[in-house]
Amino acid sequence: MANFVLVHGSFHGAWCWQKLVPLLEARGHTVLAPDLPGSGDDPAPPETADLDSYATRVCWAIDQLPDDVVLVGHSMGGIVSAQASERRPHRLAATVYVNGLLLTHGASLVSFLDAHAGLGVEDLVLKNMQVAADGQTATFPAAAAGEVFYNSCAPEDAAWAAARLTPQRMKIYADRLDLSAAGFGRVRRFYVEGTRDKAVSLAYQRAMTTETPCEAVFTFEGDHSPFLSAPAALAGLLDTVAAQAGA
């Protein structure tokens, strides 16, 4: 059975995996889902939240587990998973990007959006998030979360999740990845794309997997949050990836 480390995205915390974790554990897998620094229930002050501290937290989780690990990064957690892959390539059987930000060496989310402005995507996260006056953090209004993050979820699940969103430090969006062929490049990559994703559009996802090819791309006819809208299907897919990767 495999070891999984689950990495949440912006505004979220480990709570977002609540439906997925027991399904993976029922298949015999071991699962760790840490809060990133300053996210979810983590007590760290917001100013400590950046790519380095996020990747350090994920590497800590990897180091708690024996044998090889399947690392799963959702949304912004994809950036974190890539940097953790660079630091722990020898410990990872695979990294799975679930509607994840899969960027190249030296890139940040800001630089990716600038480079792909020609796609004409209306970025509903940028449109709806509310940036603090000092520009350091942003919040995401619960009223918009259902449409942007949870548009395939049951209404009660969407409301439950929207009520738990917490502020996100903005620095992560400008932090640039430091990746190499000997680190990140040696880890097997898999991608899960969502055709109804309104947070990381399908156009962005396919641009990313074109620029950074993956061993396989799995398509979900669903939203940004399959861990809530289709947890059983996602658990089955992750089980398949773990078997394929020999985890």
> How confident is the model over 28-76, as pLDDT tens digits?
999 999 999 999 999 999 899 999 999 999 999 999 999 899 999 999 9
What is the crossing angle of helices 51-63 and 77-87, to 10°? Answer: 60
pLDDT score for 67: 87
pLDDT of residue 46: 86
- Taking residues 179-190, what's their average pLDDT? 98
Residues in Cβ contact with 94 at an 8 Å cutoff, skipping those fewer than 6 apart: 70, 71, 187, 188, 189, 190, 215, 241, 242, 244, 245, 247
Under the banding of pLDDT at 50, 70 and 90, the label for residue 192 is: very high
Report H helices in the chain: 20-26, 51-63, 77-87, 109-115, 124-128, 142-148, 155-162, 202-211, 226-229, 231-245
Task: Give the whole-angstrom CA distance, residue 235 versus residue 167.
Answer: 28
> Phi first, then psi: what are they for 53, rounded to 5°?
-70, -35
Structure tokens at 141: 């209004």
The phi-psi region of residue 174 (left if phi > 0; otherwise alpha if psi is between -120 and 50; otherwise beta) is: alpha
Backbone φ/ψ region at 180: left (φ over 0), alpha (ψ -120 to 50), beta: beta
Helix (H, G, I), strand (E, B) or coil at 27: coil
**3-state SS, residue 28:** coil
Residue of 176, 157, 168 whose CA lies nearest to 228: 157
**How many other CB atoms are found less than 10 A from the CB of residue 25?**
14
Give dist(CA 160, CA 146) in Å, integer.
10
Averaged pLDDT, 120-145 = 96
Quick one: pLDDT at residue 246?
82
- 86-104 confidence digits (pLDDT tens): 999 999 999 999 999 999 9
Exposure string over 217-226, b if 16+ CB within 10 A, otherwise e: ebebebbbbb
Predicted confidence (pLDDT) at residue 247 exceeds the cutoff of 80: no
Question: Which of the four pLDDT bands, split at 50, 70 and 90, describes residue 208?
Answer: very high
pLDDT for the residue numbered 128: 97
pLDDT higher than 90, residue 152: yes
Q: If pLDDT is split at 50, 70 and 90, which confidence band does 8 have?
A: very high
Tell me the two tokens of residue 68.
């090889």
Question: Taking the complete model, does pTM exceed 0.95, yes or no?
Answer: yes
- Please check the confidence at residue 158 and state whether its pLDDT lies above 90: yes
